[in-house]
Amino acid sequence: MSSPSAVLSSDKINLAKITFLLVDDNPQSLEILSQVIVGFGVNKIIKCTSASAARAVLQQEVVDFILTDAQMPGEDGYQFIEWVRRHGGDANRFVPAIIITGHTRISQVAHGRDCGAHFIIAKPITPKIILERIFWVGHDTRMFIESKSYCGVDRRFKREGPPEGVEGRRAEDVENAGDPDSDSTVGAESINSISQPAEVGA
């Protein structure tokens, strides 16, 4: 596994005090993802095997980051993030969220973008890619948009690429693909303040 210092170059993000919520209906995949996150120095991880269980957690706990699988029976990862954005409560509805998916058709990627997630990661995942995406989200300055038709981070991107010192995305990574006006964007905000709410018209 790549070390955080190798991935983040001279920039550092301390994840020790960040609470991660991991959601995956496959217990084995959930445990693998958990071990990856622990490897980044995270001390508090909440694991759920369904979106309904994750909802119950968010009604009782405040989390700092969500990683959810896209394909789950009943309520999938996209629907779960939509619920978080609309009904997650003031403490959680702006939380950074990444969706992990094995389906990378443009329609699926667009669905991930439109549900309010920050990024989509294509399987197979690696610790290096997960840490890079956490780093990207931690340096994301997009505003939080709330309208009748959409609730989540601003879907418009500047074409600036990944943060300085971080390698570009893999060829098979397709987060935000399919949108002619979108590409990656970065900024200088910390994980705890990346999404500032801002209401806009429908």
What pLDDT score does 86 carry? 92
Domain borders along the chain are 15-199
Assess whether pLDDT exceeds 50 at residue 132. Answer: yes
Measured distance CA(49)–CA(21) in Å, rounded: 11
- The band of 12, judged by pLDDT with boundaries at 50, 70 and 90, is low
- Tens digits of per-residue pLDDT, 38-63? 999 999 999 999 999 999 999 999 99
Q: Which fold has domain 15-199?
A: Rossmann fold (3.40.50)
Token pair belonging to 91: 């403490």
- Residue 40: the pLDDT is 94
Over the stretch 138-181, which tens digit does the pLDDT of each residue have? 877 788 888 888 888 887 765 555 555 555 554 444 343 333 33
> What pLDDT is attached to residue 155?
77
Tally of CB atoms within 10 A around 18: 22
CA–CA separation, 51 and 181 (whole Å) = 31
